[in-house]
Structure 1
Amino acid sequence: MDIANLLSFWAVSLLLIVTPGPDWAFVLGHAFRRRPLIWPLLGIGLGYLGLTFVVSGGLGALVARHPALLSIVTVLGVIVLLRIGWTMVRAALSGQVAVAVEETAPAAEPRGGGVATLTRTDAVVDKRKRIIATGAAVSGLNPKGLMLFIALLPQFVAPAAWPVTAQMFVLGLVFIVSATCFYALLGIFAGRVLAGSAQASRILTGVAGGAMMVVAAAMLAQHFL
């Protein structure tokens, strides 16, 4: 691959990643509640990985050519964003923002508590799966992200280098790694610095949730109006 193209794409990717959006709100929501960041980050990465497969495989152009398919993606993305945004706003209003991280097992288990431990572990695993699925939906069902990949990746492909599909896939991986690293740093900063104040956490969580709902409404209006 052309190194100059790769570095140029990385620079453009950073500009897009540092721009606040649904991914920011989702990560900050977990950071302010002092919950582990690995699961939302994994979900966001999987969502963008799905977009990379879609675009590099040529399916992105198919979606772009069929308004009905894009409308379905838009509606699903809006529903997910509205649900998460409302959850964050409600948590901010109720004061349930700065909470302790859940433990995977109780500190001391009474005799005969094997079934209870297993049930608790299953519940934790199910919760992690839901967080991963939600994170994947936030990034993967974002029609703007899909259209961005469709419009952005082809511009940094060198015709005489690797196969076009391989180049797009590598560029997608560069975006995913960059985004994951930035969101991890953002979440750590928010969790250790901003989440120290319960009032600040409530305000920022409410603002992030409200911003996510506004973004969802804007996406819906832009697509159908």
Structure 2
Amino acid sequence: MIPLDVLGTYFIACLILAIAPGPDNIFVLTQSALQGRKAGILVVLGLCTGLLFHTTAVALGVAVIFKTSEIAFTMLKVAGALYLIYLAWGAFRSGATAIEGKSGSVMQGGQLYRRGIFMNITNPKVSIFFLAFLPQFANPARGSITIQMLILGAVFILSAILVFGAIALAAGSLGEWLSRSQRIQRWINRLAGTVFIGLAIKLLLTER
């Protein structure tokens, strides 16, 4: 349904965006450093469970927009592109992200999982990002938009599991390395900003 080359490009973009320092992967990093790998993995599973909610909501909503209105589709493109440019601007302006290895209260396994779900579902920026990001890789000519969006959401979740899981497993050494290497953090942010700009341009050129 979705060509492999499109999925490959999409998957690489997902990996880059998951690696860029942000609240989710920093939370995984700190909890793993505080309580061990198991705690980090539980947070990852919670965050990715929350992504299922956003994927479903966006898949159903975008499918309606694709089918009903050229004007609504154009407004979605412009709004999505502006949001991506805003994210790029923020990424380029970001310095090193503060990584606190000994902060926060200790939570039990179930609490960690639920915290991950809560953090993701209650973050409206995730839905906005999905609205701006996923439609670029869907094409009505390939069949059901809803199914395509669900596939793209699943690939995004897979990339998040891989990146966040790797962070959880390597939390000790990775946290120490990132806390010392502000240059690396800045370069990751710049790479993410470049990806956001490229996605904004691609979104504006997308046809219904």
Q: What are structure 2's unaligned runs of at least 5 residues? A: 66-74, 77-98, 180-208
Evaluate the alpha carbon distance shift between residue 128 and residue 154 of structure 1 in structure 2; reply closer, same or farther with a 3 A threshold: same
Amino acid at match of 1:10: F
Which residue in 1 is equivalent to 2:126?
Answer: 145
Q: What are structure 1's unaligned runs of at least 5 residues? A: 66-87, 98-123, 205-225
User: 1:13: how far off?
Assistant: 1.1
Q: Which residue of the other structure, out of 148, 151, 155, is the alignment partner of 1:167? A: 148
Preserved CA contact (<8 Å) 2:167 2:174: no
In 1, the alpha carbon distance for the partners of 2:25 and 2:101 equals 18
Evaluate the alpha carbon distance shift between residue 14 and residue 194 of structure 1 in structure 2; reply closer, same or farther with a 3 A threshold: closer
Which residue in 1 is equivalent to 2:2?
Answer: 2
Amino acid at match of 1:15: I
Extract structure 1 runs of 4+ deviating beyond 3 A: 59-62, 88-93
**Which deviates the most, 135-144 or 156-165?**
135-144
User: 1:90: how far off?
Assistant: 9.9
Preserved CA contact (<8 Å) 2:10 2:137: yes
User: 1:145: how far off?
Assistant: 1.6
Amino acid at match of 1:135: G
User: 1:89: how far off?
Assistant: 5.7
Amino acid at match of 2:2: D
Preserved CA contact (<8 Å) 1:43 1:131: yes
Which residue in 2 is equivalent to 1:32?
Answer: 33
Which residue in 1 is equivalent to 2:161?
Answer: 180
Preserved CA contact (<8 Å) 2:2 2:148: no
Preserved CA contact (<8 Å) 2:54 2:130: yes
User: 1:92: how far off?
Assistant: 3.6
Residue deviations 1:143-170, cap 9 Å, x none? 2221110011111112122310000001
Preserved CA contact (<8 Å) 2:58 2:131: yes
User: 1:60: how far off?
Assistant: 10
Amino acid at match of 2:59: S
Preserved CA contact (<8 Å) 2:62 2:131: no
TM-score, normalised with respect to structure 2: 0.60
**Which deviates the most, 6-15 or 20-29?**
6-15
Preserved CA contact (<8 Å) 1:32 1:194: no
In 2, the alpha carbon distance for the partners of 1:25 and 1:60 equals 33
Superposition pairs of residues 19-98 of structure 1, within 5 angstroms: 19-35=20-36, 36=38, 37-58=40-61, 91-92=102-103
In 1, the alpha carbon distance for the partners of 2:121 and 2:10 equals 20
Which residue in 1 is equivalent to 2:86?
Answer: none
Superposition RMSD in Å: 3.4
In 2, the alpha carbon distance for the partners of 1:172 and 1:90 equals 31
Computing the radius of gyration from Cα coordinates, the structure with the larger value is 1
In 2, the alpha carbon distance for the partners of 1:61 and 1:10 equals 25
In 1, the alpha carbon distance for the partners of 2:169 and 2:158 equals 17
In 1, the alpha carbon distance for the partners of 2:31 and 2:152 equals 28
TM-score, normalised with respect to structure 1: 0.55
Preserved CA contact (<8 Å) 1:5 1:157: no
Evaluate the alpha carbon distance shift between residue 166 and residue 135 of structure 1 in structure 2; reply closer, same or farther with a 3 A threshold: same
Equivalenced residue count is 146
In 1, the alpha carbon distance for the partners of 2:163 and 2:49 equals 16
